[in-house]
Amino acid sequence: MSSILDNKLNKDKCQKFTPSDIVENMLDLADYRSDLAGKKVLENSFGSGNIIIAVVKRYIEDSLSAGIMPEDISRNLESDIYGVELDKELFDACIHKLNLIVEAYSIPRVKWSLFNEDALFWQCPITFDFIIGNPPYITYKDIDEVNRRRIREKYESCKLGKFDYCYAFIERGIELLNSSGKLVQLVPANIYKNVFGEKLRELLYPHIRLIRDYPGQELFDKALTSSTIFLFDKSYESEVFTYVDMTISEKTDIARSALGNKWIFSSRTKDPQEKLRFGDYFHASIVVATLLNKAFVLSSKDFDGTNIEVQVVRKAASPKQLRRKVQEFIIFPYYYMNGELMHYDKTTFERNYPNAVQHLNNYKSELDERQKDSRAAWFEYGRSQALAHLKQKKLLMSTVVTKQVELYLLDEETIPYSGIFITVKKPEYSLNDAAKILQSNHFMEYVQSLGISVSGNSKRITCKDINNYMFVKE
């Protein structure tokens, strides 16, 4: 059976071990403090053991203070503390550490209820009072096809779209809680906003009790996303839960009913001014998708005005290169007639533009292998949905926003191939109006609350996020 750890990069990603101060905070958040004998706890991906070791220490010290005999503590540890770890090397190392701990407390040797298995498919006959953990951070693209299929078949949160590996761990945790159990997890903060995490949020919604966010903080070295800790408590049914921004030490009570498809955490009061939806007056759209930019996008060295027919070359634009003031071009194998996008037939294109064809033929095999639209010719872009709206002035912005929204005005002929482009839908507004809205402090606050953290203070947003933004009517 294929293991997720067969990929060396995944093994490295799984070994992001929880800092000791965070571990103690997680145990406190679960209220794993006293009267612990008889309460069953699970860590379903214990790695080097930082969390389960802290659990065992608390358990032993609480039992000793309650006057429980060492022999009984040994038996109780076996029956109350459970853990699962797939990596055999880490599994063995953790057991060795745990044995040293019980020895230091003069506790007889423990027959640990620890399992060297895949936690997502581990057969467990009991439920738990506490499940506390830091599941592996592995994105969909790094999960092999065999595991994608197995996980998708078993877990509701992973049925659709590009799920994260941790979704299944969270769902499995919810399944294994008893009727008053508590689940505390340290996971990527994008679970609250990722479009493919909607089903997971539905599972968390009824009993989410507290969320601690760490925007802009790196709890792990070289982590590309910010982290969050949440408490899911099956005995908690209040309509209000607590959100804490740990970076600015701000606590907010949020009505559960205020949560939408994406969870936005804000204490902002309702604005009495009339609001308009951005997408009703402007249109934010993803740019063209060639599905092989290296074949179509040309540098100024690649195109001198003579080596490829100018009739099928346009200026190209991406936020990154515009920021650097780098001029690029792009082969545009289409034309417009009366504002409508037109396609060349294969014979006409190959006859009229032999230099462009010669250039594209250098990438012929890769162009043919693209997962392109079924009607797209070999020399066309892989996706054509954005092309119909391009022949007009437009604004271009990056999908990643840091300190402010950077906008670039493009003319009718320029083709954006990276980022998001904005056009006007209603004549009473202009691109200048769109720019003022998108560069406002209010929109930046919206991005901070809604965007998915990618690194540092940067947030990734989508066209849908922009179109759904509500701005004040002037």
Instruction: Give the model confidence (pLDDT) of 25-39 as tens digits.
Output: 999 999 999 999 999
Q: Which residue has the higher pLDDT, 103 or 223?
A: 103
Count Cβ atoms below 10 Å from residue 375 Cβ, excluding itself.
8
**pLDDT average, residue stretch 129-133:** 97
Which residues have CB under 8 Å from 441's CB, separation 6+? none
pLDDT digits (tens, 9 = 90+) for 39-64: 999 999 999 899 999 999 999 999 99
CA-CA distance, 176 to 132, in Å (whole number)? 12
pLDDT digits (tens, 9 = 90+) for 144-181: 999 999 999 999 999 989 999 999 999 999 999 999 99
Mean pLDDT of the chain: 91
User: In the beta sheet, which residues pair with residue 335?
Assistant: 342
Tell me if 88 sits within 8 A of 116, measured CB to CB: yes
Whether residue 9 has pLDDT greater than 80:
no
Tell me if 74 sits within 8 A of 106, measured CB to CB: no
pLDDT digits (tens, 9 = 90+) for 175-231: 999 999 999 999 998 999 898 999 999 999 999 999 999 876 766 555 556 889 999
Cα dihedral sign, 288-290-291-292: negative
Q: Binning pLDDT at 50, 70 and 90, where does residue 112 land?
A: very high
Q: Binning pLDDT at 50, 70 and 90, where does residue 454 land?
A: confident
Q: Which residue has the higher pLDDT, 7 or 92?
A: 92
**pLDDT average, residue stretch 71-82:** 97
pLDDT digits (tens, 9 = 90+) for 398-452: 999 998 899 999 999 999 999 999 999 999 999 999 999 999 999 998 998 888 8
Query: pLDDT > 70: what percent of the chain?
Result: 93
pLDDT digits (tens, 9 = 90+) for 258-309: 888 889 886 544 455 678 999 999 999 999 999 999 999 999 888 988 899 9
Q: Which residue has the higher pLDDT, 116 or 472?
A: 116
Question: What pLDDT sits at residue 403?
Answer: 87
Question: What pLDDT sits at residue 232?
Answer: 98
